[in-house]
Amino acid sequence: MSERRIRGIAASPGIAIGPVYRYEPLLITVEVEAGQDVATELARLEAALAAARQEIRLLAEEAGRAVGPKEAAIFSAHELFLQDPELLQQVQGRIRQQQSAASAWQAGFQHYIHQLQAVQNEYLQARVLDLEDVAQRVLRHLTGQAEESWQLSEPAVIVAHELTPSAIVRCPREQVLAFCTAQGGPTSHVAILARALGVPAVVGLGEELAGVRSGQAVIVDGERGLVIAEPEAEALARYRRQAQRLQRRARQAEEDRQQPACTRDGRCYPVRANVQTPEEVAAVRTCGAEGIGLLRTEFLFLERRQAPSEEEQREIYRALIEAVQPAPVVFRTFDIGGDKPVPYLSLPRESNPFLGLRGVRLGLQRPPLLRTQLRALLRAGAGRELRILFPMVSSYEEVEALRRLVQEVEQELRQQGQELAERVELGIMIEVPAAALLVDVLAEVVDFFSLGTNDLTQYVLAADRTNESTASLADPFHPAVLRLLQLTVEAAHRCQRRVEICGELASEPLALPLLLGLGIDELSMVPRAVPRCKEAIRRWTLQEAQQVTREALHLRTAAEVRSYLHTCSPDEAAS
């Protein structure tokens, strides 16, 4: 056999070399069985649902321990599927027509999945795999089959058509070198879980992956999104060197994570953490971050029956300020809408939620909600400096209205004799191209800008960030995105305004020279990426980074930019 290269999507960084273990779970299907006793079958359904619920709770606990609370929430969604009244009614209806519980469940679930597939919402469609996972779990209990176990006798690269979250959580992690799947995009659960576990992963490898067999040797390049099956000696030697280098670097990065992040020629950068659940706050200090560069406050508004009160919010915000002081917290006002629905707000159904009532658009249409949050923030910042960041801004009028609202709230609190923040800095996210193009105008009314490259990329490239079929198009290394970043930073600096970055691009060491070269002033990212980013900053001089950026901005495609950056990192040059 000769070496074969299969290209996919880089979903979790790192290099792995090892034998393949093909994961092919058995799919349970049952025949339609009629003439069953209704009461017995209803009781069997109840028992199977209860057993599945219990298993899912254990899996959620396991996921919480292994990867963190945000990822464990995947399983809360699984539990919700089991309680869906429409689904249960369907299944019970079939049982009352004397079908067996197993065949009624199978038919009911299939109907549910077909309905989901028909909804023109890519995010929901991507969740079909989760539904199948749950459906199989209940079917297993109804048919009395044992849960499949992993049969890994040695460390291996897991190759599968697709992987359910529960398969990943149950896998023997110490034996798993990497994950490779034919399906999936960068937002799929396999990508999210692999990143959280620190395991390299390449997804979206397509049908070619079917030709890779158990026991074959493979190289998984999670940096470039490449799988090499049956590699030749030259590729093996090169990748072994690279893997060793990455390991050395990761060790060094961990050791130095509390040190400042300064380039070789002495320019130092604040590197902060993005936080989206209170549980993550503990990681801010331990990962070496200087405070919180993006607090996604919407976590307070999701998965509950009513909006949090002013006092509840104030207490949480104050605790966060105190937890990381004297370093700052950048509080982003709630970014509800888009892929983050909030049922109790009864928002109108939208056919394009990402282009709809999202972020400050919602806040300005429902002033009481935003007013309450601003009151809570200003009071939480009592006696200190406070940074507030507004998401999804697309016009000057919006920022003017937001400023007015903040001033009104300040005045109101003063009149009520409340203690409030001493100095308030107002910033906006640059996520909509219109805001990027208007930076010089917006600089009149804001103190700082923060680049939200996740949304900016989807809006510049017209590629939905949650849609797995356009995942490879939504690439922040696309030259059009980079040119817009350049324009933003230059305009902001001409107006003496600071530019931060809090999109995922900040956590990619490959992008680091570009971010330095473009002139970004502060970086913020998921806590686990902080040590690696600080280490990457230390490898460059500002001048080298500027040179690389000049070259990159003239390239034609995202692929050209990525491959250019791979070749010019000081580390690659040394190999």
# of chain residues touching ligand PEP (CB under 6 A): 10
Q: Which does 502 bind (CB under 5 to 8 A by kind): ligand PEP, Mg ion, none?
A: ligand PEP
Positions in 47-106 near ligand PEP (CB under 6 A): none
The yes-or-no answer on residue 78 being catalytic is no
Q: Tally the residues of the chain.
A: 575
Give the separation between CA 229 and CA 208, rounded to whole angstroms: 11
Minimal distance, residue 392 CB to ligand PEP, in Å: 8
Longest Cα–Cα distance in the chain: 80
Give the separation between CA 500 and CA 425, rounded to whole angstroms: 13
Give the separation between CA 432 and CA 503, rounded to whole angstroms: 13
- The number of CA neighbours under 13 Å toward the Cβ of 199 is 26
Q: Which does 87 bind (CB under 5 to 8 A by kind): ligand PEP, Mg ion, none?
A: none
Q: Find the catalytic residue in 141, 171, 180, 189.
A: 189
Positions in 496-515 near ligand PEP (CB under 6 A): 502-503
Tokens encoding 230:
């049956």
HEC secondary structure over 220-286 = EECCCCEEEECCCHHHHHHHHHHHHHHHHHHHHHHHCCCCCEECCCCCEECEEEEECCHHHHHHHHH
- Closest CB to Mg ion among residues 55, 398: 398
Give the separation between CA 99 and CA 107, rounded to whole angstroms: 10
Tokens encoding 556:
């034609």
- Closest CB to ligand PEP among residues 290, 431: 431
- Closest CB to ligand PEP among residues 103, 454: 454
Give the separation between CA 333 and CA 360, rounded to whole angstroms: 8
How far from 480 is each of 219, 394, 429, 493, 552, CA to CA, in Å? 32, 18, 18, 20, 11
Stretch of 179-187, 229-237, 309-317, 450-458 lying at the interface with ligand PEP (CB under 6 A): 450-458
Residue of 15, 2, 20, 25 lying closest to 209 (CA atoms) = 20
Q: Which does 55 bind (CB under 5 to 8 A by kind): Mg ion, ligand PEP, none?
A: none
431 lies in the site for ligand PEP, by CB under 6 A: yes
Positions in 454-493 near Mg ion (CB under 5 A): 455
Stretch of 66-74, 159-167, 415-423, 446-454 lying at the interface with ligand PEP (CB under 6 A): 446-454
452 lies in the site for ligand PEP, by CB under 6 A: yes
Minimal distance, residue 196 CB to ligand PEP, in Å: 16
- Closest CB to ligand PEP among residues 112, 390: 390
- Closest CB to ligand PEP among residues 48, 435: 435
Q: Do the beta carbons of residue 367 and residue 378 sit within 8 Å?
A: no
Q: Which does 503 bind (CB under 5 to 8 A by kind): ligand PEP, Mg ion, none?
A: ligand PEP
296 lies in the site for ligand PEP, by CB under 6 A: yes
- Closest CB to ligand PEP among residues 453, 467: 453
Binding mask of the shown chain, residues 420 to 459, with x at each position contacting Mg ion by CB under 5 A: -----------x--------------------x--x----
What CA dihedral angle connects 451, 457, 459 and 465, to 10 degrees?
Answer: -120
427 lies in the site for ligand PEP, by CB under 6 A: no
- Closest CB to Mg ion among residues 455, 535: 455
Residue of 281, 21, 45 lying closest to 171 (CA atoms) = 21
Strand pairing class (522-525; 217-221): unpaired
Minimal distance, residue 300 CB to ligand PEP, in Å: 14
Minimal distance, residue 506 CB to ligand PEP, in Å: 9
- The number of CA neighbours under 13 Å toward the Cβ of 380 is 28
Q: Which amino acid is at 454?
A: N
335 lies in the site for ligand PEP, by CB under 6 A: yes
522 lies in the site for ligand PEP, by CB under 6 A: no
The yes-or-no answer on residue 502 being catalytic is yes
Give the separation between CA 459 and CA 453, rounded to whole angstroms: 10
453 lies in the site for ligand PEP, by CB under 6 A: yes
Stretch of 153-161, 259-267, 448-456, 538-546 lying at the interface with ligand PEP (CB under 6 A): 448-456
Residues involved in catalysis: 189, 502
Residue numbers at the binding site for Mg ion (CB under 5 A): 431, 452, 455
Residue numbers at the binding site for ligand PEP (CB under 6 A): 294, 296, 335, 431, 452-455, 502-503
